Amino acid sequence: MNMVSSVQTAKKLSGSLVPSPAAAKPLAVVGGVLAIVAALLPWVTFRFNDGPYPELATLQFFDAPLQVTGFRLHLLLFGVAAVAVALVPKVPGRGRVLRALGWGVFAVSLVTTVFIVGLGGGLGAATAADGASAFGGIVGVLAGLLLVLSAAATGVGEVPRWSTDVPKPVAWLALLLAFACVLYLVSLTLTAGGLGGASNPYAGPVFLAFLGMAGGLLGALNGVGLVKWISVLSERHRGFSIVVLLLCALALPLTEAGTDYWMTVATTIGVYAATAIGLNVVVGLAGLLDLGYVAFMGVGAFVGANLSGAAAAKLGITLPFPVAALVAAVIAGIIGAIVGSPTLRVRGDYLAIVTLAFGEIFTRSAQNDIGGLTGGPNAIPGIPAVSIGGTAFNQPLEVGGLELPGGVLYYFMIVLVVGAVMAIFANLKNSRIGRAWIAIREDEDAARAMGIKTGRAKILAFLTGATLAGLAGAIFAHKLGTASYDSFKFLESVTLLAAVILGGMGTIPGAVLGAALLFVLPEKLREFSDYRLLIFGLALVFIMRFRPQGLVPDRVRRAELAGETAEGKSIQQVEEALVAEQESVDHAPERDAKGDRS
Amino acid sequence: MTTLLQQIANGIALGATIGLIALGYTMVYGIIQLINFAHGEVFMVGAFGGLATYRWLLPEGIRGDWYLSLPLMLLGGVVVAVTVALLMERFAYRPLRNAPRLAPLITALGVSIVLQEAIRLWFPDADAAQPFPKAFLDAQIKIGPISLRATQLLLIAVSIVLSVLLQTYVNRSKMGRAMRATAQDPDTARLMGINPNRVIVLTFAIGAALAGVAGVLYGIDITNVDNAIGFQNGIFAFTAAVLGGIGSLRGAVIGAFVIGLIKTLGGQYMPGGTQYDYVWIFVVLILVLVFRPQGLFGEAERVRA
């Protein structure tokens, strides 16, 4: 530190924070060592094990030194990795890897320290008090910053490209391993920190610190070019990838996350992910801002509930679930087309307001039990669980000695639904109508001039989105056993919109990731449930300000919204790279997906 | 007949509140084509600003004298509303001025949620509705068969006076001319030596001041406020602005009175009663947007989208 500090001060004075390239290696080594040291230092000055909550709380042995579990293990591994990356010659994408590791260390340390200070009794807990000192958190934060600085000094270049001309078995093995790791990571993420709540106040910090670690890890893997490599391979062996991915998703109940609780959470995420993909068609592809989207989910839920034979349903019609869900989807779709019809005359923000108005009319009508169909404030309770051949979907399942948790069948169902929806979306996006939607989003007048029937295309976007939402709504009602207007209010629409925007408009993984984050985080951060909406609002503002293209940016969108990529490359560079990449994909020896592009 | 007249009077009183908010919507939209979704929350924050002034700033002695406490509460409400509006213009909207159109709208949505939640979380006890002081004559005034609260008459009077003042200001003053010029053509206005940032800031400030006044008067009239009043009244006001022709000051005020009448009369005479009065406003909004998007007084070319 000392040897660079004078250089750094001079640099700071001249208005730049980036140290000289010569300082990169020492900075990285010091940062890495500090991360290791931080992992081994005590993090609090006293045990939190006496007295009532929140004193009665432990954060994975965080007062004992030399304990390497949980976040300490992550810090230790990151520190070792940073030192190794700094010292080993010719690491591909060194700057990127260091940067990712640095932010990971920083996030893990900061989250943990903030929680110790916030919940654990002041700054003394993380510095020195009661005759003990505990500087783990501070050292960790410092280590993270040093690593980020060293990355800046190294310079962040292109993501390295690995040769993708590998024999089929190697590619398949790599994909298999990669997806298995993804499954493991998902299961770890879901269970990280355990259930939130009064008995486990540190679920939030453990989970957030884990997210920081996961983010750093993925960033580092992306930095060396592994993620890119895998994604090119999976694009090339598309059929195989889809099968493996589906199997991995279906295998989730076999992992640590295989409990009733996590199955319910995962199913809920799936429902909202399917809905978010539907919204993505409307907002992300066609560029029509819909502020009343959740109403379609509500329509699906109420139609599904009324046809399910629930005692409280007035119609008294009992249909088997698949038929009820289908009817719900169709009716929601028809209503979607009706709501979308003003799009023929109204554009832009005006359309947003029209959809908001429709959404409010739906909520108000449902709240007042319109036509006796929605149960009003009493909701429609007692919707029977879906069952096939006498097996109710909410019961645990035993298949040949294998015990599966309750609700696992709902989970399987929603995985298949989300999978199907993703496949439909992917094909739609590259189809004639999908390209028409994108053209409308970019410039409606130009699209019309090119011969696109814009009115029909826009209504079709609404119809598609609403149908998906209706289907998701019907599943949602059956899973929950009740349908209440309360679940389909304006704020839910905003949440879904936030999911789509956070994930990245117009991309499938974006919508799924956004929905997962926005519905797992509240589950984990019960401690902060009061602040949930506030954080949502701030998130919307900050995303629009700093990363309008979302976490997983759409290619076209990325160039359009940011003017340049997150990495600071100009649009032209990106386009050149895209062309090169497209050529490499197009010239691939075997390509399963040829039929998918019409 | 008495009921009808009474409901018309109530509708006009409601319209007066909505009109003050709608002016802010329409001015901001006229200048930068932004639907400032958070404007309703500025109204709400203004009401809480007035409440805070009464609770913590006014000395015990003058609380009873409405002619002292009311102006001070209005001042408090206006100061808070303007401060919030300027902060949000500076930090949320200005960086996005050249962004795609969806971006500021989504930001406005976010700001709206943030303001609602900030009041609920950090204004003492504001997670439930808060009683608002009766800082005006607490009397019913009879005009022929109808009777109105003194506070409703105050709202109507203030609303009319302020809209006339605003109209005069925009039409006659130098700054008003600059505003109109910026609304018509920002680039040319800039060439003529007008600083668009100043115009925009002033527009936000005037709109927020009107919303702040409306917030305090609304609180006094309804006698309790919560953090949801902004969203609902904001949507009514937006509908009014669209109905009148967004960008037109006169249109916004007249639209507001129409909306007020639709709500009270719809609640009285349409099927479903007051439970559905809200719905009729949205039905009108949709019909107007679909069949006459330029509104009653708007110019067709003003509607850019």
Query: Among A238, A273, A292, where does a domain finish?
Result: A238
> Closest residue of A to B286, CA-based?
A354
Q: Is residue A569 part of a domain?
A: yes
| A contacts of B99 (beta carbons < 8 Å) | 544, 548, 561
Query: Which residue has better confidence, B18 or A163?
Result: B18
Q: State mean pLDDT over A116-140.
A: 70
- A248 falls within a domain: no
Nearest chain B residue (CA) to A354: B286
Residue A360 lies in a domain: yes
User: Cβ B272–A368 below 8 Å, yes or no?
Assistant: yes
Shared-domain flag, residues A167 and A146:
yes
Chain A residues closer than 8 Å to B109 by CB: 291, 494, 497, 537, 540
Interchain CB contacts (distance < 8 Å): A and B: 122
Distance CA A467, CA A269 (A): 18
The reply to whether A282 and A186 lie within a common domain is: no
The answer to whether the bond into A54 is cis (omega within 30° of 0) is yes
Residue A267 lies in a domain: yes
Residue A572 has what pLDDT? 52
Q: Is the pLDDT of residue A203 over 80?
A: no
Same domain, A49 and A75: yes
What percent of chain A lies above the pLDDT cut of 90?
13
Looking at the partner chain, which of B116, B279, B291 has a beta carbon nearest the beta carbon of A361?
B279
| B31: closest CA of chain A, how far (Å) | 15
Q: Is residue A42 part of a domain?
A: yes
Number of domains in chain A: 3
A431 burial (CB, 10 Å; 0-12 / 13-18 / 19+) is middle
Under 8 Å between Cβ of B48 and B122: no
Reported residue count of chain B is: 305
A556: pLDDT strictly greater than 70:
no
Query: In A, which residues are within 8 Å of B121 by CB distance?
Result: 530-531, 534
* Interface residue ranges in chain B relative to chain A, Cβ cutoff 8 Å: 35, 92, 95-96, 99-107, 109-114, 116-118, 121, 235, 238, 242, 272, 275-276, 278-279, 282-283, 285-286, 289-291, 293, 303, 305
Q: Which residues of chain A are within 8 Å of residue B110 when distances are taken between CB atoms?
A: 536-541, 544
Cβ contacts of B289 on chain A, cutoff 8 Å? 342, 345-346, 350, 353-354
CB A492 within 8 A of CB A294: yes
Mean pLDDT of successive 10-residue stretches along chain B, which has 305 residues = 87 93 91 88 95 88 83 95 95 86 85 92 85 84 86 93 94 91 88 91 95 94 90 88 86 92 88 81 85 73 39
SS3 for B143?
strand
- The predicted complex's ipTM stands at 0.87
State residue A581's pLDDT score. 56
Range of the structural domain that residue A11 is part of: 2-238
**Contact yes or no for B113 and A348 at CB 8 A:** no
Percentage of residues in chain A having pLDDT higher than 70:
80
Segment among A123-137, A294-308, B202-216 with least mean pLDDT: A123-137
- Most A CBs within 10 Å: which of B34, B88, B106, B270, as the mutation test of the A interface? B106
Amino acid at B139: A
Same domain, A336 and A223: no
Q: Which of A168-177, A212-221, A586-595, B138-147 has the lowest mean pLDDT?
A: A586-595
Residues A157, A38 share a domain: yes
Query: Minimal Cα distance from A497: which residue of B?
Result: B106
Judgement on whether residues A165 and A281 belong to the same structural domain of the protein: no
Of all residues in chain A, the one with the smallest CA distance to B94 is A545
- What's residue B191's pLDDT? 93
CA dihedral B205, B209, B210, B215 (to 10 degrees): 130
Residue A395 lies in a domain: no
The rounded mean pLDDT for chain A is 79
Is residue A294 domain-shared with residue A210, that is, in the same domain?
Answer: no
* Residues of A whose CB is below 8 A from B228: none
Q: Nearest CA of chain B to the CA of A339: how many Å? A: 10
What CATH number is attached to the domain comprising A544? 1.10.3470
**How many CA atoms does the CB half-sphere of B135 hold within 13 Å?**
27
Indicate yes or no: CB of B105 within 8 angstroms of CB of A349: yes
Amino acid found at B174: K
* pLDDT of A562 above 60: no
> For A327-350, how does the pLDDT look when each residue is reduced to its tens digit (9 = 90+)?
999 999 999 998 888 777 777 777
* CA-based nearest residue in chain A for residue B100: A561
- pLDDT at A103 (0 to 100): 92
d(CA B17, CA A29): 64
Query: What kind and span of H or E run contains A596?
Result: none
| Residue A51 predicted with pLDDT over 70 | no
The confidence band for A197, taking pLDDT boundaries of 50, 70 and 90, is: low
Phi and psi torsions of A564, nearest 5°: -150, 170
Class of domain B2-302: mainly alpha
Contact at 8 Å (CB) between B37 and B234? yes
Tell me the mean pLDDT in the region A488-503.
85
Split at pLDDT 50, 70, 90, the class of A326 is very high
**CB spacing of B282 vs A541 below 8 angstroms:** no
A128-129 and A132-133: which strand pairing?
A: antiparallel
Query: Distance between CA atoms of A213 and A220, rounded to whole angstroms?
Result: 10
pLDDT(A281) > 80: yes
Distance CA B282, CA B265 (A): 14
What is the rounded CA–CA span in Å between residue B73 and residue B54?
6
| B-chain residues near A529 (CB < 8 A) | none
Q: Is A591 contained in some domain?
A: yes
**Size (chain A), residues:** 598
Q: Is residue A398 part of a domain?
A: no
Which pLDDT does position A151 carry in this prediction?
86
Q: Closest residue of B to A445, CA-based? A: B305
Q: Which residues pair with A392 in a beta bridge?
A: A387
Same domain for A82 and A153, yes or no, is yes
